[in-house]
Chain A
Amino acid sequence: AQTVTQSQPEMSVQEAETVTLSCTYDTSESNYYLFWYKQPPSRQMILVIRQEAYKQQNATENRFSVNFQKAAKSFSLKISDSQLGDTAMYFCAFMKLRSYNTDKLIFGTGTRLQVFP
């Protein structure tokens, strides 16, 4: 069975600074995806970034980037130039890759990020 661990229940950062959220996972699968989702108070889960395990290059999306260490089973999220709108709950998620189909997401417990002015 797969597990996802987020060891930081809460983080805070000042506006314009950089913050890194940690995530580790455990799996025996060789093909999988990893995701970071953001959930603001509105409750809407929003995809931040995703990483295919077979890709060695770390994914980036504007101010968001990941540090994917496959051997260490680590998948951290770096937010650069933090903005007030980044305040949210952040979930790390794992998805096993099956032929032709997606699979259920396995979520971590989340990290609550507060961005201060």
Chain B
Amino acid sequence: GAGVSQSPSNKVTEKGKDVELRCDPISGHTALYWYRQSLGQGLEFLIYFQGNSAPDKSGLPSDRFSAERTGGSVSTLTIQRTQQEDSAVYLCASSAEPLGTDTQYFGPGTRLTVL
């Protein structure tokens, strides 16, 4: 079946602009994660959605970052007033729960460049 998809593949924006990144998880997967991959920080967790529970936002680096998941499926990560340090690859992953043992499957990522 179809894997995790993300759009856009690449995004170039100017400092101070807002951006939205989209993630379509694997159909039926109830858990969805956002990670950021940057040269300086490596791979770091941002936010986690599980079903109808309140999301785990503990990894969001600042209040400029927010995410939502509509209808338990598609998720949008929004970065307001982008800064150059926001330049990174943003990866989305989904997993099938509530098995509690399943693997996270990743999308191809969105490369964000802030000029």
Q: Known contacts A100-B97, A101-B97, A110-B42; decide if A35 and B103 are in contact (CB<8 Å).
A: yes
CB distance A44 to B108 under 8 Å? yes
Q: How many residues of B contact A (CB 8 A)?
A: 29
Does any Cβ of B come within 8 Å of A74's Cβ? no
Chain B residues, CB < 8 A from A50:
103
Chain B residues, CB < 8 A from A37:
106
Does any Cβ of A come within 8 Å of B109's Cβ? yes
Does any Cβ of B come within 8 Å of A109's Cβ? yes
| Interface positions of A (Cβ within 8 A of B) | 33, 35, 37, 42-47, 50, 52, 91, 97-110
B42 touches which one: A97, A99, A103, A109 (CB < 8 A)? Answer: A109
**Interface of chain B: mostly helix, strand, loop or mixed:** strand
Q: How far is the CB of A61 from chain B (nearest CB, A)?
A: 12
Does any Cβ of A come within 8 Å of B85's Cβ? no
Q: Known contacts A43-B89, A45-B91; decide if A102 and B42 are in contact (CB<8 Å).
A: no
Q: How far is the CB of B66 from chain A (nearest CB, A)?
A: 18
Does any Cβ of A come within 8 Å of B104's Cβ? yes
Scan B80-100; emit 1 where CB is below 8 A from any A CB, else 0: 000000000101010101111
- Distance of A45 Cα from B6 Cα, bound (Å): 13
- Distance of A6 Cα from B104 Cα, bound (Å): 20
CB distance B102 to A102 under 8 Å? yes
CB distance A100 to B98 under 8 Å? yes
Q: How far is the CB of B63 from chain A (nearest CB, A)?
A: 20
B31 touches which one: A46, A101, A109, A110 (CB < 8 A)? Answer: A101
Q: List 17 extra interface pairs beyond A102-B101, A104-B45, A105-B45, CB under 8 A.
A: A43-B108, A43-B109, A44-B106, A44-B107, A44-B108, A44-B109, A52-B101, A91-B43, A97-B101, A98-B100, A100-B99, A100-B100, A101-B97, A101-B100, A102-B31, A103-B48, A105-B104
